[in-house]
Homo-oligomer: A and B are copies of this chain.
Amino acid sequence: MHDVPNKNKKISLTQVASAAGVSKMTASRVLRGEGGYSEKTRKLVMEKVDQLGYLPNRLAAVFAGDKTSTFVGVSIPELGNEVFSQVLEGIDRKLGTFGHQTVLGLTQHTAEEEETWISTVLSWQPAGLILTGRLHSPRATELLRNAGIPIVEIWDLNSSPIDMSVGINHFDAGFDMGRYLVQCGYRNLGYVGTSHDIANAATTRLAGFCKAIESGGGQVTKQLCLHDSASYYPGFYGTEQLLASGTDIDAIFYQNDAMAFGGLQFCTGKGLCVPGDIGIAGWGDLPIASVLAKRMTSMHVPHLKLGQAAAEMMIARLSGEPVGDVRDIGFKLIPGSTVRNLAGLS
């Protein structure tokens, strides 16, 4: 049908070698650029490679060398939350630079999905694993401990990781946000987020937040955890639900900026002034925040950098360089203008 010479025919190294009139070992050496052959031989072999359209079978190579593959398994809860798509982008770009491939796993925030995915991906002899979150099922934990490959747990900083960890301390980040709102004079707080079957970073953040509010003499009157994705519309209707309950909330903390923007739109639509009538605080300093007229009160976390850092730790470990176990990537409060700024911060 198409006049390509090798349609649907798999060419093996042996065929290349015999076409070039050398042994397959020589051909193998040339292809790996390992050295130990003459320039003439190299040319001859490469010529045949092009001619025959030879594609190496990496499966066989890994298998023969008793090595791991260049795969890195990466688990992410969901892509609908922009936070995680940024992290994934950071990881994949960096891994790609070093010749590794991402094998993706969307766990939908469940430990069960994660466990299934871990055992499958391990059977492909990956070079390493990058996992979002620190909570795994008992069997998953055992699999990970026995895997004998580098493992980076990201997002929620883990002071005693299975192997390595990159992220931030979400309790502290939540606490800082709570403390800031207290400083701004808020006492009667609400929270809108999403819930999942396993405790996660957002839960930890909320715990830190509550702690700070309570320490400051306030309280988190109403916490709403929707069974939905952490996106714009859930922020919108979550706010509606929260305010409908009639409690006299003076500010709302959201799981991320997307939800916060949804909430902002709901409030504005109802004729509420932000921050005059109600304060709004988001999380993540997501791209949308950069175009809003009022800077969103939020917490900046370098998501892309976090992903890159995770990939870098992985690669350093794979190349035998010394790597620290734990890396705190940091966060930064964005005071913004969607809460009253009595704190005098800028």
Contacts and interface: CB of A to CB of B under 8 A. Distances in A.
Contacts of A69: 59, 124
Interface stretch (A74-82, A219-227, A311-319): A74-82
Interface residues of A, number: 67
Interface stretch (A38-46, A95-103, A178-186): A95-103
Nearest to A123: B58
Interface in A121-147: 121-125, 142-143, 145-146
B101 A120 contact: yes
A287 interface: yes
A106 B92 contact: yes
Interface stretch (A22-30, A168-176, A259-267, A274-282): A259-267
Given A55-B122, A103-B101, A120-B101, A291 B232 contact: yes
24 contacts: A7-B146, A53-B142, A56-B123, A59-B59, A59-B62, A59-B63, A59-B69, A59-B123, A59-B125, A69-B124, A92-B105, A96-B105, A101-B103, A103-B103, A104-B104, A232-B288, A232-B290, A233-B287, A233-B290, A235-B291, A258-B287, A258-B288, A262-B291, A269-B293
Contacts of A62: 59
Contact of A71 (B63, B86, B103): B103
A96 B148 CA distance: 25
B125 A57 contact: yes
Nearest to A142: B4
A119 interface: yes
A88 interface: yes
Given A89-B106, A101-B105, 9 more contacts: A8-B148, A10-B148, A59-B59, A59-B62, A79-B79, A80-B89, A82-B82, A236-B290, A269-B293
A115 B288 CA distance: 33
Residue of A104, A119, A261 contacting most chain B CB atoms (<10 Å):
A104
A145 B8 CA distance: 8
A338 to B, nearest CB: 15
